[in-house]
Amino acid sequence: MKELSYVRAINEALREEMARDENVFMIGLDIGLSGGSFTATRGLYEEFGAKRVVDYPIGESSLIGLAIGAAVTGLRPVVEIMFMDFLAVCMDPIINAAAKLRFEFGGQYKAVPLTIRTPIGEHAGADHTQSLEAWFAHIPGLKVVMPSNTYDVKGLLKSSIRDDNPVLFIEHVGLIRMKGEVPEEEYVIPLGKAAVKREGTDVTVVAWGRTINDALSAAQELADNELSVEVIDIRTVSPLDKETILNSVKKTGRVVVAHEAVKMGGFGGEIAAIIAEEAFDYLDAPVKRVGALFAPLSFCPALEDYCLPNKEKLITAIKETVK
Amino acid sequence: MALDKNRLLEIFTALVKVRRLEERLVELFTAGEFPGWMHPDLGQEAVGIGVAMNLRPDDYITSTHRSRAVFVGKGIELKSFMAETFAKRDGTCQGRAGEMRFMDIDRGILGYTVTVGAWIPFAVGVAFSCQYRSTDQVSVAFFGDGAVDTGPFHEALNVASVRKLPVLFLCENNGWAQFTPQSLTASVPQISKKAVAYNMPGKTVDGDDVLAVYEAARDAIAYVREGNGPMLLECTTHRWLGHFVGDNQKYRDPDEIKECRKFDPVLRFQNKLLNEGVLTQDKVEDIEAKIKAEIDEAVELARKSEAPDPEEAMKDVYCSPGEGK
């Protein structure tokens, strides 16, 4: 095992997949000569050259469009969209084309092997910090992956690039320096599989992305109060691993679903509804959700902190399920 | 460079084929025989035919909602096309795409989704792939005059130019974007003039003169194939019917609609070939009869063909491991 930061793990995954398959190429703003806004692609231009690490002009709409055209004619593009908020600029090719080409043309396109990497921002203002996975989970034909730590980000990114479907791979600026252990040897993590990050018996917390860290801290603190919390990291938002979630709910009977995204209309609502539909008889308390408050996230730290979920809000929610 | 008689006859046959196909599709759609929408290509046939007949089978095209002339020029097979139009499972896309979103990967016809302008960057991506893989294939992006006002058009031309990608930007300018005339929307109505803004050559030709289109396209495709970078070729033409079947064109001057017919690209070419002795009246009738038979057969087969099973609504949403090419 070796210790790596989250962003170096992304870099390693990219390097390994570029070396493994010459049809994999990277394209985005500032990813080549300057190694990426968050250094995720550092060194790759020098190693693989301008043909395979492409600096693109500002224009996310045509960036995705070009990647789609390349993806259906033999290549495997890995696109970087600098901030998740900018997906709003290129929604049309993602949801109206990439997600639908395989279906629409009766499988004549065997695959649209497009990977879109994009980070959620932090401390950067309302239009630079949104967590929008719910938008894309709503679109049949897309896969949505949201790793929470160094080990997962590397294994999941490799799988995403190898997946023949369009995959939205959601990173987080706030996790860039997070350290973690990864194996020396190559490994992949399959998409569509959740992971039990902490075993417990009293309450299930289902979370993903950066919120997993709050969930694990909350679980640790509550353990001292003799409350045993199980933490499920869904890892892939779509396709969702319902089985792992429901098995945990059947064991504990109490659930908190937590995410960084705004609670209203967030993907937590979908998971809560699934639990109500498929595990109602096992519930000893209503499903609780934790998410950001329904307001834009200011760059002003006090306002941002007020809105975002954190360990304390999670602890409060967990305790409410056992009241 | 003069074309030999056989080639002239091939071009004429293709023109007539798409004309009769389009007329039949309008008839069938009006009678309610196939679902969806229909956007007739009538009047504009010379553009798609003149360009597509210069392409190799392994060259790629991206299309619009009004591209049957391109498809016929690219050599599609009418039986599977008609089955697809009728949403039957023998269609090239198992009945899911229809005639508007028609896709035929073996002929480099890449499909369509309806956001105007969206496929222009896809065509650039295809050209990127050809350059990346060091092939000499060409990508042709077809679009109308309405599409040139979109963001993706602008972005695509810039990128193609700066990276010298093998893509031909082919504008069919019929002066109408659905119900709105170019006079209301275009700061620069002659679209080929925009080429200078992207540092690429631009040219305008009479899109109703199939030989003018053929020759201009031949030169443009050769230019692009040789690695000189992209080019913008504008073909001016006339849309005879409304934007779609059912559009009564109340927004359009009735005299203008009548005037359009004078530019009939099929009659024009037919008369030229008759005058030059390349065609005889008998030969014309012979060609027409063969085309009618081919279309009739395709329609009959499509009518008899089965619709997909309802459960196929859930098929091919995702690609499983190992299913990708």
User: Quick one: pLDDT at residue B325?
Assistant: 57
Contact flag A72-B121 (C-beta cutoff 8 Å): no
Contact flag A106-B92 (C-beta cutoff 8 Å): yes
Kindly list the residues from chain B whose CB atom is less than 8 angstroms away from the CB atom of residue A32.
none
Residue B125 token pair: 């991506």
Average pLDDT, chain B: 96
Which of A69, A113, A165 is opposite residue B129, by nearest beta carbon? A69
Residue B248 token pair: 């009564």
Given a contact cutoff of 8 angstroms between Cβ atoms, the answer to whether B238 and B262 are in contact is no
The total of other beta-carbon atoms located within 10 Å of residue B296's CB is: 11
The pLDDT-based confidence of B1 (bands split at 50, 70, 90) is low
User: Quick one: pLDDT at residue A176?
Assistant: 97
Kindly list the residues from chain A whose CB atom is less than 8 angstroms away from the CB atom of residue B147.
none
Kindly list the residues from chain A whose CB atom is less than 8 angstroms away from the CB atom of residue B121.
61-66, 68-69, 93
Contact flag B96-A101 (C-beta cutoff 8 Å): no
Which of B94, B113, B318 is opposite residue A96, by nearest beta carbon? B113
- pTM of the entire structure? 0.96
> Which residue, A111, A105, A117, A39, is CA-closest to A81?
A117
User: Quick one: pLDDT at residue A109?
Assistant: 80
Contact flag A102-B316 (C-beta cutoff 8 Å): yes
Kindly list the residues from chain B whose CB atom is less than 8 angstroms away from the CB atom of residue A97.
113, 115, 118, 122
Given a contact cutoff of 8 angstroms between Cβ atoms, the answer to whether A238 and B318 are in contact is no
User: Quick one: pLDDT at residue A178?
Assistant: 97
Contact flag B132-A75 (C-beta cutoff 8 Å): yes
Indicate which residues of A carry an active-site annotation.
128
Residue B188 token pair: 């620069």
Contact flag B128-A93 (C-beta cutoff 8 Å): no
How far does A267 lie from chain B, in Å, by closest CA?
21
The whole-number average pLDDT for the span B133-144 is 98
The answer for residues whose C-beta is within 8 angstroms of residue B286's C-beta and 6 or more apart is none
What ipTM did this prediction achieve?
A: 0.95
- Tell me which of A52, A60, A102, A108 to substitute to probe the interface with B (most B C-beta atoms closer than 10 Å): A108
What distance in Å separates the CA atoms of residue A44 and residue A20, rounded to the nearest whole number? 14
Q: Got the DSSP string for A22-70?
A: TTEEEEETT-STT--TTSTTTTHHHHH-TTTEEE--S-HHHHHHHHHHH
Kindly list the residues from chain B whose CB atom is less than 8 angstroms away from the CB atom of residue A63.
121
pLDDT tens for each residue of B26-66: 999 999 999 999 999 999 999 999 999 999 999 999 999 99
What distance in Å separates the CA atoms of residue B20 and residue B295, rounded to the nearest whole number? 8
Low-confidence ranges of chain A (pLDDT < 50): none
- How many residue contacts between A and B have a Cβ separation below 8 Å? 157
pLDDT tens for each residue of B213-246: 999 999 999 999 999 999 999 999 999 999 999 9
Contact flag B318-A141 (C-beta cutoff 8 Å): yes
Which of B126, B128, B317 is opposite residue A140, by nearest beta carbon? B317
CB burial class (10 A; 0-12, 13-18, 19+) of residue A106?
Answer: buried
pLDDT tens for each residue of B278-292: 999 999 999 999 999
The total of other beta-carbon atoms located within 10 Å of residue A179's CB is: 12
Instruction: Write phi, then psi, for B212 (nearest 5 degrees).
Output: -65, -40
Which of A66, A107, A239 is opposite residue B316, by nearest beta carbon? A107
Contact flag B155-A25 (C-beta cutoff 8 Å): no
